[in-house]
Amino acid sequence: MKEIKNQEFGGERPLFASHDLHLDNVIIRAGESAIKECSNIIATNCTFEGNYPFWHVHGFTIDRCFFDVGGRSALWYSDHLKMTDTRIDAPKMFREMDDIEIENVVMNDADEVFWRCNRLHIKNLKLHDGTYPFMFSNDIYVDGLESDSKYVFQYVKNVEIHNARITTKDAFWEVENVTIYDSELNGEYLGWHSRNLRLVNCHITGEQPLCYAQDLVLENCTFGPDCDRAFEYSTVKADIRGAITNIKNPTSGHIVADSIGSITLDENIKAPADCVIEERGGSHAV
């Protein structure tokens, strides 16, 4: 493997079509497509300032690197990436990619990141700002996520998440086959129009959570006091620990909680309208 160390490159495509290359302490200055149509690339302790550095790259490692604001849209149409201990300040990263492994990465402008990606394995990721991370991506495993980005995980399929703290709005819309363990989910309108969404040992805050959901499952979950009008038009099986403020018009299933503030069943409820709602211990049953 050829090594390039302690150098700077700029302009258009300076390392185009390179293969079997190790970049160490290299700076990619202003320009475009520095490392395009490449394979078997290792980048350590590098800084990326120019646009689109890693496009159509097959098999690469990025370790202890920094993507400056100018290094936007840096990782597209590529596969088999391992990224560790890296900071990213640029938006629109990770598009149309397969087989991504990430550990200890901070993204400070998570706008439109991870779009249409497949087979992601993520450990200890921090997402700040931006909108729509993970849109249309599939087969995702996450252990350790902090995110304050808006509209996370929309239109995703086959996702498993552990130990996350997500503060957002409209998260997990139109998802399919998603399970979330031991996590905190803060924000309005969680999980609308989802299919096979399962929450285990999670704490949920925000207005109108989990509506229009199909085959929704909650196990040992807790709710904040602002969670009103929950489960509207959802088919649900829910075991809620502690209190829930209000449940409104669930379509079918079984909901049990330690305490239920109020239940709204009105003329707008949808058939079969046979959801069993009860407090643990037998009171307040519907």
Over residues 245-270, the pLDDT tens digits come to 999 999 999 999 999 999 999 999 99
CA distances in angstroms from 77 to 41, 130, 164, 166, 176, listed in the order given: 15, 21, 28, 28, 24
Residue 214 contacts residue 230 (beta carbons within 8 Å): no
The whole-number average pLDDT for the span 93-113 is 97
| Mean model confidence pLDDT for the chain | 96
What pLDDT was estimated at residue 283? Answer: 54
Phi, psi at 280, each rounded to 5°: -65, 130
**Whether pLDDT at 204 is above 70:** yes
Please say whether the beta carbons of 236 and 275 come within 8 A: yes
Q: What is the pLDDT of residues 9-59, one digit of tens each?
A: 999 999 999 999 999 999 999 999 999 999 999 999 999 999 999 999 999
The answer to whether residue 2 scores a pLDDT higher than 80 is yes
What percentage of the chain has pLDDT greater than the value 90?
97
Q: Tell whether the model's pLDDT for residue 183 goes beyond 90.
A: yes
Query: In which band, very low, low, confident or very high, does the pLDDT at 286 lie, cut at 50, 70 and 90?
Result: low
DSSP string, 103-171: EEEEES--TT-SBS-EEEEEEEEEE-S-B-TTTT-EEEEEEEEEE--BS-S-S-EEEEEEEEEEE-SST
pLDDT at 182 over 60: yes
Q: Summarize pLDDT for 124-143 with one digit per residue, the tens.
A: 999 999 999 999 999 999 99
Alpha-carbon distance 197 to 42, whole Å? 38
Q: What was the pLDDT predicted at 285?
A: 52
Please tell me the distance from the alpha carbon of residue 54 to that of residue 28, in angstroms, as a whole number.
11
Q: What integer pLDDT is reported at residue 281 of this predicted model?
A: 78
Calculate mean pLDDT across residues 205-209.
96
- What 3-state class would DSSP assign to 174? coil
Whether the pTM exceeds 0.85: the reply is yes
Residues 69-75: contacts with CB under 8 Å, at least 24 apart = 69/109, 70/30, 71/28, 74/48
Amino acid 180: pLDDT: 98
Q: Is the preceding peptide bond at 14 cis, omega within 30 degrees of 0?
A: no
Residue among 182, 219, 227, 184 nearest 198 (CA): 219
